[in-house]
Amino acid sequence: MNNLQKLPIYLFAALALGFASCESNDPEEENDGEVITDVTLKFQELNSSGSPIGIITSFKASDPQGIEVGTSPTIQTINLTKGKTYRMSIEVYNSIEKEDITKEILEEADKHQFFFLGTAFSGNIMTITYDDQSGKRLGLSNKLVVSSSPGTNNAQMRVILRHDLDKNFPGASNPNFTNFVQAGGETDLDITFPVVIN
Amino acid sequence: MFHKLWFNSFEALTFATVLHYQVILFLAVFVLFSKESYAQKCNLILRGKILHRENDNSIEAAYIWILETRTGAVSDQNGNFIIRDLCPGTYTITVQYLGHKEIRQTLNLTGSTTNQTFRMEEESLDLGGVEVHGHREAVQTTTAVTSLYGEALLQSRGESLGESLKRIAGVTTFSTGNTISKPVIHGMHSNRIMILNNGIRLEGQQWGAEHAPEIDPFLADEITVIKGAETVRYGPEAMGGVILVNPPSLPTSKKHSTEIHLLGASNGRMGNFAASHLGGSEKIKGLGYRLQGSVKRAGNVQSPDYIQANTGMSEYNFSGSVGYSSKKLGVEAYYSFFNTELGILRDAHTGNLSDLVNIIENGRPFTNADFTYKIDNPKQVVLHHLAKIKSHYHLNTDWKLNFQYGFQLNSRQEFDRRRGELNSRPSLDLELFTNTVDIFLDHKLKTNWSGSFGLNVIQQANSNIPGTGVTPLIPNYDMLNLGIYVIEKYLKGPLELEGGLRYDFRTFDAARFVSGELQEAELEYQNFSAFFGGLYHLSPHFAFTSNFGTAWRPPNVNELFSQGLHHGAAAVEIGDPTMVSENSLKWVNGLEYESEKILVELTAYANHIKNYIFLSPTGETFVSLRGTFNVYEYLQADAFFYGFDLSGSYTFSERINGYLKGSIIRAKNLDEGNYFPFIPSDRMDWGISIAFGKNSNPNSDRITIGNVLVAQQKREPDFDLAPAPPAYALFNLGYQKKLQLAENQLNIGVQINNVFNTEYKEYMNRFRYFTADMGRNILLKLNYQF
């Protein structure tokens, strides 16, 4: 009975404790760690023996806000020359977190792969093959051959980065695999670059 | 001596004989003249109702006796009684019922019909064994109420709360795959309905479509659905209805009982174990406790043609309570813990709009998965603590003071498929504290009036745990809600009238960073709500209820502040901080007929909602480096919901029983003249059960054959990612066996859901875009009570 008389005291102690713990924290700034703000395609011309010649030209797609309503990305036009062979390497960057995502993709090579679609690879305009130095089929580095007599000088190159796909899916070894969705996973990047061939 | 005795008895006998003749004579005269006197004045009627004083439940088979006329009646199943042909005058009436204090009251009959309610008090606590009424009603209301308990609840064991409640007509689920399901009452879910865990309103992140209620159905021995607007009683947001999940009441005398459930299912290779123990103290009278826990584990779910990747789940729950009750004072402490890890279908997590379009076109997941129990990202890890202290004190025989305090901590972590180290970090990490205080004064007068006056405080604090690497979907906020209410009920014989009024005031302070900028908002809402309802027993078998109730719901935090990409859903959602509260008026009518063979419950309702908030596609798309997304915004429009639920059963014979349940809902956007998305289509569940036990106990063995018919949703919104899936029919089979082992009972159940492994998609499943629903599932259920 003694305990029962003390009950109101316990009740109020519990109550006070409950209410004290019940205030929200001050909000903290959260940097989007996963956002990709800059994608750079670097083109280095190769000679007939496959050695690099000349300077590297790069073309960039950027969206400094990441995924944010009201802004849209700026995408540069890629300029290439007829009949030339290039090494096309891709660099992916998060300017918000100042993080090199290329490295992360390389580290998770078994979960990522680039695919290249668009009119640039239809008809006789250009061809692309995976040429990753790491030996893993990723698409961070590729060999691009521009036809010496393309039917048009305006085309589009759609660069897609897939995450979490089944890399052994039949057809997935083709960089121009149009049914890439069937290999599962989801899209991390989907950028269409205009291409002008001179 | 002997002689005298003989003489005396002879004399007595003679006297008795004479008296006997006199009575016969009197009766003969009475009969001769009674017809006339009947017509003159002795045509008065005494009607009444007998109730339990403690909880207002009706008492069946109470004995009502008028001393003067030596006439009486027995109350029916609704507690009603009627005594006819009374002459005007003063009478002494006694009401008797086993284990209850006799009521003796003087009544003066003058008018044609007198109506009187009698509330009976239990005799004493030490009687202990008085458990005459099998099922206590969880709530006294004039709205449509349906409960799941006893055998029906036993059959639902192993299912989530949402799935279990589908057994009630008018209740469906809004689900996200096969692991996450939210109950839908009359087309409303999430923040428009309320769930009470042992009397405390469950406060999780219920705004999310993919956020299932954080409650273990095993803690309940009764789950009740109130289908009316009950904001006055339970506070804001109880617009579509209320779900009460109630554990059994604690024993007040020496008693021990244990119950064990063991369940297994073929689909997902689910295993589920639950145990509970109930005990009453021998030493301290009135002291009782209950302990309960459950464990559940399931792997990938199988659709008829494929296994759904990453659809496993695990759950660990615990609850305990201890209570003391004496004649005047009752105290109860309760704690429940819920812990779940839920896998989300891998393919449902899409990167952008073209991913989404591609999988919808494909109609099934791209991933070909094998069976595994392993749960990978995307997944949810949810913990919920709920503690409460409840106390009541009888100030006197008429007034009772109640106090209840509840503390809740909800922690929700959602993991997405992410790159590198981020994959092990949640992309949504929320912690929600809630304090609730209820103080209310109940009165149950001996006569026709009862009711309560109350004060209700809800205080809430939501925080994002930093370190997710994602701009938070919702801000940190503090919320305070104060409410005062009064409810009064008038009982007179077969008629019950009830009305209530409530005032609420809410403040809401939110803050967050968006792109390095601090955004703050201070919002205030206030509202009056009211209800009025009645119940009338047309006859002992036939009752009619009608209830008008207003309800309100302030906008949710996500509706106000969403701004950005909903990860995985390939949608950009935009909130509106200037949104106003929703206000609704719901009219619910119920008709109940119960006879020996037939049971029919019909509920018809209409619900008008002003400023109904919904997510609407803008038709615009948003382009980013990740691809294209659909843009949705939260809008407000006036809405009108109406429909009816029907549930009934017919007893063909002692062994054969048929049942039917069905519901129809219509939901219209009055501003646009079109339909809202995710409203349940017309559906019906009917079947037959055949008992084939021995003649002494035919119900010991029973087979149930059921058929679920679901129509296609023809009233679709103007925009949807995919058309509504076609109608489907499922067949279910069940076998129940009850074994009495001495004092103990063993229940064995075998259930086959979707017997023919039919491939179907349910409109109310958000993952219908990605996958078919669950295929055949065979369950084995063992329940042992000792």
Evaluate whether residue A28 is within a structural domain.
no
B150 lies in the same domain as B32: no
Residues 591-630 of B with CB under 8 A from A: 622-628
Strand-pairing partners, residue B601, are B592, B647
Mean pLDDT of B486-495: 86
Evaluate whether residue B119 is within a structural domain.
no
- Best of B432, B624, B632 to disrupt the A interface by mutation (most A CBs within 10 Å)? B624
Mean pLDDT of B95-110: 81
Evaluate whether residue A156 is within a structural domain.
yes
Q: Render pLDDT for B5-15 as a digit per residue (tens, 0 to 9).
A: 343 444 444 44
With 60 as the cut, is the pLDDT of residue B37 above it? no
Q: Provide φ and ψ at B608, rounded to 5°.
A: -105, 125
B267 lies in the same domain as B400: yes
A9 touches chain B (CB under 8 A): no
Give the pLDDT band of residue B336 (cuts 50, 70, 90).
very high
Lowest-pLDDT range of A146-150, B138-142, B430-434, B536-540: B138-142
Lowest-pLDDT range of B34-38, B307-311, B359-363, B521-525: B34-38
Q: Render pLDDT for B566-592 as a digit per residue (tens, 0 to 9).
A: 776 778 888 999 999 999 999 999 998
Out of A7, A67, A108, closest to residue B624 by CB: A67
B29 lies in the same domain as B160: no
Contacts of B478 in chain A (CB under 8 A): 23-24
Give how many domains chain B has, as a whole number.
2
Out of A34, A182, A190, closest to residue B352 by CB: A190
Domain that holds residue B25: 7-40
- Scanning B205-247, the segments in alpha helix (DSSP H) are 231-234
Give the pLDDT band of residue B19 (cuts 50, 70, 90).
very low
CA B189 to chain centre: 13
Q: Render pLDDT for B368-406 as a digit per residue (tens, 0 to 9).
A: 889 999 999 889 999 999 999 999 998 887 888 999 999
Evaluate whether residue A150 is within a structural domain.
yes
Decide: B516 and A30 in contact? Cβ < 8 Å. Answer: no
Evaluate whether residue B104 is within a structural domain.
no
Mind giving me the DSSP string for A36-88?
--EEEEEEEEE-TTS-EEEEEEEEEEE-TTSS-TT---EEPPEEE-TT-EEEE
Distance from CA of A4 to the nearest CA of B (A): 9
Q: Render pLDDT for B491-526 as a digit per residue (tens, 0 to 9).
A: 877 788 999 999 999 999 999 888 778 889 999 999
Domain of B725: which CATH number?
2.40.170.20
What's the CA gap between B76 and B542, in Å, rounded? Answer: 12
Residue with tokens 């579509």: B240
Out of B354, B471, B477, closest to residue A24 by CB: B477
Distance from CA of A24 to the nearest CA of B (A): 5
Domain that holds residue A100: 33-197
Evaluate whether residue B723 is within a structural domain.
yes
| Residue B95 amino acid letter | V
Long-range contacts of B137-140 (CB under 8 A, 24+ apart): B137/B55, B137/B57, B137/B224, B138/B222, B138/B224, B138/B244, B138/B246, B139/B224, B139/B226, B139/B233, B139/B244, B140/B55, B140/B56, B140/B57, B140/B489
Decide: A140 and A159 in contact? Cβ < 8 Å. Answer: no
With 70 as the cut, is the pLDDT of residue A68 above it? no
Mean pLDDT of B300-304: 95
Evaluate whether residue A155 is within a structural domain.
yes
B24 lies in the same domain as B159: no
Q: Verify whether the Cβ–Cβ distance A14 to B405 is below 8 Å.
A: yes
Residues 399-428 of B with CB under 8 A from A: 403, 405, 407, 417-420, 422
B163 lies in the same domain as B36: no
Give the pLDDT band of residue A15 (cuts 50, 70, 90).
low
A158 touches chain B (CB under 8 A): no
Evaluate whether residue B316 is within a structural domain.
yes
Evaluate whether residue A121 is within a structural domain.
yes
Q: Verify whether the Cβ–Cβ distance B625 to A61 is below 8 Å.
A: yes
Q: Which chain A residue has the Cα nearest residue B404?
A: A11
Q: Render pLDDT for B181-208 as a digit per residue (tens, 0 to 9).
A: 999 999 999 999 999 999 999 999 988 8
Residue B110 in tokens: 């003058």
Evaluate whether residue A179 is within a structural domain.
yes
Domain of A94: which CATH number?
2.60.40
Q: Verify whether the Cβ–Cβ distance B470 to A182 is below 8 Å.
A: no
B22 lies in the same domain as B155: no
**pLDDT at site B127:** 40
B397 or B747, greater pLDDT: B747
B531 lies in the same domain as B679: yes
Mean pLDDT of B124-134: 40
B202 lies in the same domain as B334: yes
With 90 as the cut, is the pLDDT of residue B81 above it? no
Evaluate whether residue A2 is within a structural domain.
no
- By C-alpha distance, which of B139, B95, B142 is closest to B119? B95
What's the CA gap between B531 and B141, in Å, rounded? Answer: 11
Q: Render pLDDT for B234-274 as a digit per residue (tens, 0 to 9).
A: 888 888 899 999 998 888 888 889 999 999 999 999 999 99
Distance from CA of A143 to the nearest CA of B (A): 23
B180 lies in the same domain as B314: yes
Residues 196-225 of B with CB under 8 A from A: none
Evaluate whether residue B356 is within a structural domain.
yes
A100 touches chain B (CB under 8 A): no
Mean pLDDT of B755-780: 94
Q: Render pLDDT for B441-458 as a digit per residue (tens, 0 to 9).
A: 988 776 678 889 999 999
Q: Verify whether the Cβ–Cβ distance A22 to B435 is below 8 Å.
A: yes
B433 touches chain A (CB under 8 A): yes
B329 touches chain A (CB under 8 A): yes
Evaluate whether residue B692 is within a structural domain.
yes
Give how many domains chain A has, as a whole number.
1
A104 touches chain B (CB under 8 A): yes
Give the pLDDT band of residue B670 (cuts 50, 70, 90).
very high
Out of B366, B389, B464, closest to residue A11 by CB: B389
With 80 as the cut, is the pLDDT of residue B686 above it? yes
- Best of A138, A190, A193 to disrupt the B interface by mutation (most B CBs within 10 Å)? A190
Evaluate whether residue B76 is within a structural domain.
no
The mean of the pLDDT values for chain A is 85
Contacts of B518 in chain A (CB under 8 A): 27
| CA distances to A13, B244, B386, B432 from B408, in Å | 16, 17, 5, 8
B192 or B110, greater pLDDT: B192
